[in-house]
A and B are shown apart, each in its own frame.
Chain A
Amino acid sequence: MPGVSFDEVTKTFSGETVAVDRLSLEIADGEFMILVGPSGCGKTTGLRMVAGLEKPTSGVIRIGERVVNEVSARDRDIAMVFQNYALYPHMSVYKNLAFSLKQKRTPKQDIDRRVREVAAMLGLEPLLKRRPAQLSGGQRQRVAMGRALVREPKVFLLDEPLSNLDAKLRVQMRAELKRLHARLGVTTIYVTHDQVEAMTLGDRIAVMSDGKLQQLGTPQEVYDTPANVFVAGFIGSPPMNLLRGSVRSGRVTAGDFVLQRADVPDGELIVGLRPEALRPAMNGLPSIEFRVDVVEPLGDEVIVHGSVAAELATVSEEVEDAALPGANGLRTEAVARLSPRDRPAEGSTIRLGVEPAEVYLFDAGTGAAIR
């Protein structure tokens, strides 16, 4: 089974809008790769180029060793699951599953065998005679998966396949997808804007923004060492608190937050604090004053919304979109995730500390991480 590679792939629409900008990406054989990013970041366009539904403006796309830029969608031997499933409404589930095999003039008995195998795998046997309109959302989703599976394709493309399902079903299908991939081992490219799906499903994830690849790595790598302020704000829930700060001779300050970092040259920077890294201040830890507005108890933890006395960091609009901390004078909205034992009272002011190793610093100009 082959991998997929993008080599400097660019796609512009009507000569102006750059949807994908010099994307280079190697997807290994059998890998589960996630393309994640906010809407309009080019992830779906990237997927559609692999499918053959869009032609790259420049650059080379390969499936295995074969350059597929000029190969039509039907000859690529890929299967795709669409966001709205795109089931053929006038055909029964059986015919939907059999359609691609029929196009390939597969013998009737083989079609029947494959369709029944896949139906059994996905629990669709009792539904084979129904039309898509007579199915629930989850069942439709399964049929869409099944239609892709019968083909035994070289590459699986999934475009936000879970976004039309309710929360419970989404969790269930997520696990099912992971099981299927483990069982079949087909190279899979999965597009989503949901970072939970990205973190849980992917072998590796490619974070995209504005048509550009921001970071590529395993979910843990991307979470632990975000390459820039965009990735930091996008991956993680609730998002990282990003504050404007500065360094003077090894002393990083952001509002009343102070941290010693001798290795950082003087200048402006952005300080990132993950909500889950914050905890009630202990002696010696760098800390910040936190005014509590709303406390959301979740049982095993509490999400604390409030504000800190520091300025909101803005590098570009993307960051605001991702982090959404509304500026309020010199105070900035902030979020912390605490244990229920440390639950503060609403309206109170507390000090929250953080381990120096868990403080992220980013260049104020470029947004790149300072390590």
Chain B
Amino acid sequence: MATGQTAQAEPLFRLTVPPEKPRRRLPFSPWHLFLMPVAAVMLVPLLWMVIVSLETASQAQRFPPVLFPHSFHVQSYVDAWNAAPFAHYFLNSAIYSLSTVAGQLLFCSLAAYAFARIRFFGREVLFVVLLATLMVPFQVLLIPTFLIVKKLGMVDSVGGLIVPNLCSAFGIFLLRQFFRTLPIELEEAARIDGASRLAILFKIVLPLSLPALATLGIIQFLWSWNDFLWPLVIINTDTHAPIQLGLSTLQGGHFMEWNVLMAGTVMSQIPILLAFFFAQRWFIQSLAYTGIKQ
């Protein structure tokens, strides 16, 4: 504002601009000062796992632990690979994870669409019941699920791993919530254009729901890949075991080769790290989207 001059007419509005303060700014967000130590705490076990896997058996047994070994040995990886049928484990895990992902995406979207858009008797009650099952921990369902799978004659097979995980209340809930945010006019337009319910689902709704589908797919993949309890209960034959169960065979009854176990563990995590590397954006969005911690 001009201060030295006398204004003849009072202006209707006076614009006051705060004086520009030369501020020194950090080259990063102040939040990072808090987040970086937290990230370090999260990373230490992983680094330790990698370090131990590269040590010799005697280094790995030592106390206090050797955190900075002078030399790296890859022998434990060779030992781990030879100690157990890792190729089988990986194959089983891949079949288990990918088929449950496919099953979840297909069956959950069918159920979720019905809950989101089709008016039928008892829909709301049924949905509440479905939500209530989310509160029941898997440990409670373990034995009934086992009995069902046994009746199906699928004990000790990869099929027995997959079938109970083809659909989930969580997946139905997640997709239903997303479907309901899509504008109903699109579906009405498609109906008038002559599309059937299924055509609407597959040609309109699902292509627009990629973020939700990616979320569900990623969560299911992580969950199946890292699943230990259900395979432990249902698989008896070593060659039918997925990777997490297979790793437990590296644990001896009396003597434990930590470096070999860690080498196996590192190998088991490689697919997930690769997946994360290539689909980082989707991973982060997915987990943020559901507010779920893995």
Using a CB–CB cutoff of 8 Å, the interface residues on chain A facing chain B are 51-53, 72-74, 76, 78-80, 82, 84, 86, 88-90, 99-100, 103-104, 147, 151
Residue of B whose beta carbon sits closest to that of A91? B207
Q: Is B204 an interface residue (CB 8 A)?
A: yes
Band of interface residues on B: 10 to 19
In the assembly, what is the distance between CA of A73 and CA of B204, in Å? 17
Tell me the smallest distance from the CB of B213 to a CB of chain A, in Å.
13
How far does the alpha carbon of A110 sit from the alpha carbon of B192 in the complex, in Å?
A: 20
Tell whether, in the assembled complex, residue A84 and residue B191 are in contact, meaning their CB atoms are under 8 Å apart. no
A76 vs B190: C-alpha distance when bound (angstroms): 13
Confirm or deny: B27 has a beta carbon within 8 angstroms of a beta carbon on chain A: no
- The reply to whether B192 and A73 contact each other, CB–CB distance below 8 Å, is yes
Q: Is B288 an interface residue (CB 8 A)?
A: no
A88 touches B204 (CB 8 A): yes
Chain B residue at minimal CB-CB distance from A84: B185
A124 to chain B, nearest CB (A): 17
Give B182-207 as 1s and 0s: 1 = Cβ < 8 Å from A's Cβ atoms.
01011011111111100100011001
Contact across chains for A86 and B208 when beta carbons are under 8 A apart: no
A-B contacts, 27 listed (Cβ < 8 Å)? A51-B192, A52-B191, A52-B192, A53-B191, A53-B192, A72-B191, A73-B191, A73-B192, A74-B192, A74-B193, A74-B194, A78-B192, A80-B189, A80-B192, A82-B185, A82-B188, A82-B189, A86-B185, A86-B186, A86-B188, A88-B189, A88-B204, A89-B186, A90-B208, A99-B190, A100-B192, A100-B194
Chain A residues closer than 8 Å to B193, beta-carbon distance: 74, 99-100, 103, 147, 151
User: A89 touching B208 by the CB < 8 A rule?
Assistant: yes
**Chain A residues near B195 (CB, 8 Å)?**
74, 99, 103
Q: Interface on B for A, CB 8 Å cutoff?
A: 183, 185-186, 188-196, 199, 203-204, 207-208
**When chains A and B are docked, how far (Å) is the Cα of A73 from the Cα of B185?**
13
Known: A86-B186, A86-B189. A103 touches B207 (CB 8 A): no
Closest to B186 in A: A86
Chain A residue at minimal CB-CB distance from B195: A103
Contacts of A51 in B (CB 8 A): 188, 192
Given contacts A74-B196, A88-B186, A103-B199, 15 further A-B contacts (CB under 8 A): A52-B191, A53-B191, A72-B191, A73-B188, A74-B192, A74-B193, A79-B192, A80-B188, A82-B189, A84-B183, A86-B185, A86-B189, A99-B190, A99-B203, A103-B193
Residue of B nearest to A79 (CB): B192
Q: Which residues of A contact B190 (CB under 8 A)?
A: 88, 99
Of the residues A80, A84, A88, A104, contact of B194 by C-beta under 8 Å: A104
- 4 nearest CB pairs, A to B: A100-B193, A86-B185, A103-B194, A86-B189
Give the complex CA separation of A194 and B131 in angstroms: 46
B183 touches A86 (CB 8 A): yes
CB neighbours of A53 from chain B (8 A): 188, 191-192
Closest to A104 in B: B194
A51 to B189, CA, bound (A): 10
Chain B residues with CB below 8 A from A84, complex form? 183, 185
Query: In angstroms, how far is the closest chain A Cβ from the Cβ of B39?
Result: 36
Which residues on the B side are within 8 Å of A82 (C-beta)?
185, 188-189
Contact residues in B for A89 (Cβ distance below 8 Å): 186, 208
| Bound form: Cα–Cα A82–B189 in Å | 8
Instruction: Kindly provide the distance from the CB of A51 to the nearest chain B CB, expressed in whole angstroms.
Output: 6
